[in-house]
């Protein structure tokens, strides 16, 4: 930053033009600062000493002297020197003007010279300030996006000045945001944006001396988006580690991020934590916290991961007819981070690849295995294996292959059973009719049928109670006087995954099927 140059005290003057005009006279332009000692030259074209020189300003005599004149009284500010030049001891504002010297040279010749004196000062006391939200140690001013900022500049120059504000930013610059010829210049910027971040310079220019003084201030615009940090994970080259990535872009200045509970926040917009897989477990919560100057500590933003073991789900028992094709399906929606799900065959868990026999396909979270041209050899166990960075789980599917002829046998058996059912129905109807006054079948029974889908209910008439008395506890009679009907519930394998799980051998899995959301530990990195 420029500072106002101190005015030199002795004989500082600028000779901008010095032209010799006709009749042996010259005209000189001089500039002096208030307080200077200025020497206005007169006879400079020869080396004779004038006998008498008279100086006039704007037609009025200001001083005269020479070898033949008496010495000037002490304390006079304007003194004609020995060679005829005019010495002004301590220039004042107002001394500016057109000076004319008339000298009488030896041999009765005369000489005239003109001096145009300019008196200038400044720019002095240049001050530039920006008022915004805060000021950093190094003087840089900080404004928050959307706030307003006031810029003020002032300076003094004699006889006239120009003040202007200029901007230099990363994406654009503007040499004149505003300007004035007054002694101060202020303006306000509303709703500041990141693009208004940059260096603001106030320049004060003395329009007579062309001397200029500038003062610059840096303005930073801070902002946070309305978003949260983003938590992701990535596998690494080394399979024993997982990368957890926390990122938060679009802030100024850069946020500080921290994975986990302990440790120091790091100033970055993307923080990667490399975690040993053996430290990860089901239900564990990995959290990334973010700090920024514009956020209070209470509203610290964060993102997190709840680790969940894989949980492949599907039908555990599948039957197919020989020479047809069948599609086994399995879906994986639980795992976090997402699992890699594959189909395997047999207790050796041979991997299956797509070809003429098998086709593997994926439909969102559903993984399908289609087996073509089924033969008895295809019968056996298949595994839908789901693996994420810290756990493996398998769904075991047993495929039963029926010979095509068994369908015919099945039909015969079916007809036989049908006949049996019709026969029993007749008997039951007859029995019911004869004991209709003793049967109480409430609405509750119907409801139970709906609720207990998949359970087989054997209804036993109260007349036959004595048959079961030894094995089945008898229910107390209801208050409405009706006899209670005994109900026996047999479980058959059903297709929901709880049963799938019980039939699952899970060679690599411990008893951790209950996904307890206990307050998980944070990873120590
Ligand atoms: C002042 O400090 C801020 C933050 O530390 C920095 O970004 C800026 O460049 C500094 N400005 C100057 C002029 O040193
Ligand atoms: C991961 O952690 C386990 C248990 O703390 C340790 O035995 C193993 O060496 C670690 N793996 C690596 C690659 O550091
Ligand atoms: C089906 O399998 C049988 C026995 O494995 C084989 O002989 C036959 O060629 C196969 N058919 C097709 C169409 O692949």
Bridge-based pairing state of the strands 391-402 and 317-321: parallel
The C-alpha atoms of residue 462 and residue 440 are separated, in whole angstroms, by 10
Radius of gyration of the chain (CA): 52
Q: What band does 272 get if pLDDT is binned at 50, 70 and 90? A: very high
Residue of 262 and 412 predicted with greater confidence: 262
Q: Please answer whether residues 4 and 122 qualify as being in contact, where contact means their C-beta atoms are separated by less than 8 angstroms.
A: yes
Distance 296 CA to ligand 1 centre (A): 23
As a whole number, the mean pLDDT across the chain is 79
Pocket of ligand 2 from Cβ distances under 6 Å: 240, 276, 278
Range of the domain at 242: 230-306
Ligand 3, atom 1: closest residue by C-alpha: 373
Give the rounded distance of the alpha carbon of 188 from its chain centre: 29
Pocket of ligand 1 from Cβ distances under 6 Å: 136, 138, 140, 218
Q: Specify the CATH number for the domain of residue 149.
A: 2.60.40.10
Judge whether 367 lies within some domain: yes
Q: Based on the fold, state whether residues 471 and 417 are members of the same structural domain.
A: no
Torsion angle of C-alpha atoms 84, 87, 93, 99, degrees rounded to 10? 0
Residue found by looking up tokens 């059903």 in the block? 494
C-alpha distances (whole Å) from 118 to each of 181, 209, 214, 255 are 19, 9, 23, 57
User: Nearest bound ligand to CA 221?
Assistant: 1
Judge whether 523 lies within some domain: no
Which residue among 168, 203, 222 closes a domain? 222
Residue of 39 and 22 predicted with greater confidence: 39
Q: Based on the fold, state whether residues 461 and 488 are members of the same structural domain.
A: yes
Ligand 3, atom 14: closest residue by C-alpha: 373
Judge whether 520 lies within some domain: no
Distance 137 CA to ligand 1 centre (A): 9
Q: Based on the fold, state whether residues 428 and 337 are members of the same structural domain.
A: no
Distance 352 CA to ligand 3 centre (A): 18
The C-alpha atoms of residue 509 and residue 249 are separated, in whole angstroms, by 40
User: Which atom of ligand 3 is found nearest the CA of 377?
Assistant: 5
Ligand 2, atom 13: closest residue by C-alpha: 240
Mean pLDDT score, 79-107? 92
Distance 331 CA to ligand 3 centre (A): 30
Q: Based on the fold, state whether residues 355 and 258 are members of the same structural domain.
A: no
Cβ-based neighbour number of residue 150 at 10 Å: 12
Which residue among 277, 306, 335 closes a domain? 306
Rounded to 5 degrees, φ, ψ at 464 are -100, 15
The C-alpha atoms of residue 404 and residue 410 are separated, in whole angstroms, by 10
Q: What is the largest CA-CA distance in the chain?
A: 170
Q: Please answer whether residues 288 and 303 qualify as being in contact, where contact means their C-beta atoms are separated by less than 8 angstroms.
A: yes
Q: Give the pLDDT score at 302.
A: 94
Q: Based on the fold, state whether residues 294 and 344 are members of the same structural domain.
A: no
Judge whether 54 lies within some domain: yes
Q: Taking Cα atoms as reference points, which of 250, 157, 147, 139 lies closest to residue 200?
A: 139
Q: Quote the DSSP letter at residue 203.
A: E
The C-alpha atoms of residue 7 and residue 23 are separated, in whole angstroms, by 36
Question: Containing H/E element for 444?
Answer: helix 443-451
Q: Which of 243, 278, 390, 524 to mutate to test the pocket of ligand 2 (most atoms within 8 A of CB)?
A: 278
Q: Based on the fold, state whether residues 446 and 357 are members of the same structural domain.
A: no
* 18-32, 130-144, 194-208, 271-285: least confident range: 18-32
Rounded to 5 degrees, φ, ψ at 515 are -85, 75
> 96 Cβ partners below 8 Å, 6+ apart?
117, 118, 119, 159
The C-alpha atoms of residue 298 and residue 289 are separated, in whole angstroms, by 12
Distance 321 CA to ligand 1 centre (A): 78
Q: What is the SS3 assignment for 337?
A: coil
Judge whether 393 lies within some domain: yes
Q: Is the CB of 325 under 6 A from ligand 3?
A: no
Question: Containing H/E element for 451?
Answer: helix 443-451
Distance 384 CA to ligand 3 centre (A): 25
Burial degree of 142 (CB within 10 A; 0-12, 13-18, 19+): buried
Q: Quote the DSSP letter at residue 5.
A: P
Q: What is the SS3 assignment for 465?
A: helix
Mean pLDDT score, 36-57? 89
Q: What band does 2 get if pLDDT is binned at 50, 70 and 90? A: very low
User: Strands, DSSP E only, in 75-172?
Assistant: 78-80, 86-89, 97-105, 109-119, 121-131, 134-135, 141-144, 149-158, 161-169
Q: Give the pLDDT score at 494.
A: 38
Q: Based on the fold, state whether residues 296 and 342 are members of the same structural domain.
A: no
Mean pLDDT score, 179-192? 95
Q: Is the pLDDT of residue 441 over 80?
A: no
Q: Which of 320, 370, 373 to mutate to test the pocket of ligand 3 (most atoms within 8 A of CB)?
A: 373
Ligand 3, atom 8: closest residue by C-alpha: 373
Q: Based on the fold, state whether residues 11 and 110 are members of the same structural domain.
A: yes
Q: Based on the fold, state whether residues 17 and 100 are members of the same structural domain.
A: yes
User: Which atom of ligand 2 is found nearest the CA of 276?
Assistant: 1
Judge whether 280 lies within some domain: yes
Q: Based on the fold, state whether residues 26 and 105 are members of the same structural domain.
A: yes
Q: Is the CB of 373 under 6 A from ligand 3?
A: yes
Distance 404 CA to ligand 3 centre (A): 14
Q: Give the pLDDT score at 509.
A: 34
Q: Give the pLDDT score at 389.
A: 87
Residue found by looking up tokens 């795992």 in the block? 335
Domain tally, the chain: 6
Which residue among 385, 420, 436 closes a domain? 436
Distance 482 CA to ligand 1 centre (A): 91
Q: Please answer whether residues 360 and 324 qualify as being in contact, where contact means their C-beta atoms are separated by less than 8 angstroms.
A: no
Cβ-based neighbour number of residue 257 at 10 Å: 25
C-alpha distances (whole Å) from 131 to each of 1, 137, 200, 205 are 20, 15, 12, 23
Ligand 2, atom 2: closest residue by C-alpha: 278
Q: Please answer whether residues 198 and 226 qualify as being in contact, where contact means their C-beta atoms are separated by less than 8 angstroms.
A: no
Q: Please answer whether residues 157 and 120 qualify as being in contact, where contact means their C-beta atoms are separated by less than 8 angstroms.
A: yes
Q: What is the SS3 assignment for 519?
A: coil
Q: Give the pLDDT score at 46.
A: 79
Q: Based on the fold, state whether residues 361 and 413 are members of the same structural domain.
A: no
Q: Give the pLDDT score at 164.
A: 97
Exposure string of 455-493, with b = 16+ CB inside 10 Å and e = fewer, is eeeeeeebeeeeeeeeeeeeeeeeeeeeeebbeeeeeee
Q: Quote the DSSP letter at residue 521.
A: P
Residue found by looking up tokens 């120590």 in the block? 524
User: Nearest bound ligand to CA 323?
Assistant: 3
Ligand 3, atom 4: closest residue by C-alpha: 375
Mean pLDDT score, 369-392? 95
What digits encode the pLDDT tens for the residues 459-516? Answer: 334 344 333 333 333 333 333 433 333 333 333 333 444 433 333 333 333 333 333 3
Q: Based on the fold, state whether residues 396 and 412 are members of the same structural domain.
A: no
Judge whether 218 lies within some domain: yes
pTM attached to this predicted model: 0.60
User: Which atom of ligand 3 is found nearest the CA of 375?
Assistant: 5
Percent of the chain at pLDDT exceeding 70: 72
Mean pLDDT score, 286-293? 93
Residue found by looking up tokens 């559903």 in the block? 366
Distance 240 CA to ligand 2 centre (A): 8
Q: Is the pLDDT of residue 364 over 90?
A: yes
The C-alpha atoms of residue 332 and residue 285 are separated, in whole angstroms, by 20
Judge whether 100 lies within some domain: yes
């Amino acid at each position: 930053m420029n500072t106002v140059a101190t005015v030199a005290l002795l004989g500082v003057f600028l000779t901008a033009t010095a032209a010799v005009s006709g009749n042996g006279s010259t005209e000189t332009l001089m500039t002096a600062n208030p307080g200077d000692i200025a020497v206005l030259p007169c006879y400079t074209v020869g080396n004779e000493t004038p006998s008498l020189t008279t100086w006039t300003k704007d037609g009025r005599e200001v001083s005269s002297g020479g070898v033949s004149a008496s010495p000037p009284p002490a304390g006079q500010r304007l003194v004609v020197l020995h060679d005829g030049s005019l010495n002004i001891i301590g220039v004042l504002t107002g001394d500016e003007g057109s000076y004319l010297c008339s000298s009488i040279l030896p041999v009765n010749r005369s000489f005239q010279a003109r001096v145009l004196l300019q008196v200038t000062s400044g720019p002095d006391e240049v001050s530039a300030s920006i008022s915004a939200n805060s000021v950093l140690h190094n003087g840089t001013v900080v404004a928050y996006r959307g706030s307003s900022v006031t810029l003020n500049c002032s300076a003094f120059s004699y006889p006239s000045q120009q003040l202007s504000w200029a901007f230099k930013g990363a994406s654009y610059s503007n040499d004149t945001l505003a300007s004035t010829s007054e002694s101060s210049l202020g303006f306000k910027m509303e709703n500041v944006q990141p693009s208004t971040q940059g260096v603001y310079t106030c320049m004060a220019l003395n329009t007579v001396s062309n001397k200029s003084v500038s003062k610059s201030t840096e303005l930073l615009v801070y902002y946070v988006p309305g978003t949260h940090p983003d938590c992701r994970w990535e596998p690494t080259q080394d399979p024993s580690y997982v990368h957890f990535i926390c990122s938060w872009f679009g802030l100024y200045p850069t946020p500080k991020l921290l994975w986990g509970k302990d440790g120091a926040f790091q100033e970055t917009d993307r923080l990667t934590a490399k975690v040993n897989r053996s430290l990860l477990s089901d239900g564990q919560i990995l959290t990334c916290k973010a700090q920024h100057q514009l956020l209070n500590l209470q509203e610290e933003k964060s993102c997190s991961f709840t680790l969940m073991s894989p949980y492949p789900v599907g039908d555990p028992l599948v039957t197919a007819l020989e020479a047809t094709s069948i599609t086994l399906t399995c879906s994986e929606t639980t795992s976090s981070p997402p699992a890699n799900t594959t189909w395997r065959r047999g207790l050796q868990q041979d991997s299956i690849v797509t070809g003429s026999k098998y086709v593997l396909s994926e439909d969102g979270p559903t993984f399908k295995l289609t087996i073509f041209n089924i033969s008895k050899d295809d019968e056996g166990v298949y595994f839908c294996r789901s693996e994420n960075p810290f756990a493996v789980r398998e769904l075991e599917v047993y495929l039963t292959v029926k010979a095509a002829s068994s369908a015919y046998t099945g039909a015969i058996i079916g007809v036989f059973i049908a006949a049996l059912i019709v026969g029993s129905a007749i008997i039951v109807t007859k029995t019911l009719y004869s004991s209709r006054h003793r049967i109480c079948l409430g609405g509750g029974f119907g409801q139970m049928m709906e609720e207990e889908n998949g359970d087989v209910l054997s209804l036993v008439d109260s007349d036959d109670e004595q048959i079961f008395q030894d094995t089945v506890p008898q229910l107390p009679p209801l208050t409405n006087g009706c006899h209670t009907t005994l109900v026996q519930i047999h479980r058959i394998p059903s297709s929901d995954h709880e049963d799938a799980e019980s039939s699952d051998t899970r060679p690599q899995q411990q008893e951790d099927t209950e996904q307890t959301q206990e307050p998980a530990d944070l990873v120590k990195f």
